[in-house]
Amino acid sequence: MQSKVFNRSLVSKGYRVVNSLGTNCVHAQMVATTNGTTSVNVFGANGAPAPITIQGVFVISRDTTAGNITIATPGGTVATIAKGATAGVLVGAASVANATCVENGAVTIVSSSAGNAQVFILYSFDAV
């Protein structure tokens, strides 16, 4: 199913977003866990459900191994967040870049070390 705008709402792959488009409000949140230095596609094998813009990212450390958590789209690095050596600490990205992702595009997360984090990606659907 292709993404469509219907009554100023986005309908894509069975999702219907009732918020008005173009307001830069966060429509959804994706949560994924890093797998050490192995890249993880947060939306799975099919990629993003529609064209999206990442509005913000934060991580919660799951262990005591320090490292950098990198979030990326096909356009490049969105943010790199330094994860400290204390479990349970929340850290947000100061800014995001390369924040847009096409439908079916991979949004990936990876750690620079064996340390892992829970990654929260806040995004909005783009009008198509």
pLDDT at 17: 53
Q: Which long-range contacts (CB under 8 A, 24 or more apart) does 75-79 make?
A: 75/100, 75/101, 78/54, 78/107
**Chosen CATH of 24-125 out of 2.60.98, 2.30.40, 2.60.120, 1.10.357:** 2.60.120
Say if residues 34 and 116 touch (Cβ distance below 8 Å): yes
Please give the chain's pLDDT, 128 residues, in tens.
455 444 445 555 555 555 555 555 567 889 999 999 999 999 999 999 889 999 999 999 999 999 999 999 999 999 999 999 999 999 999 999 999 999 999 999 999 999 999 999 999 887 65
Q: Which pLDDT score, from 0 to 100, does residue 9 have?
A: 54
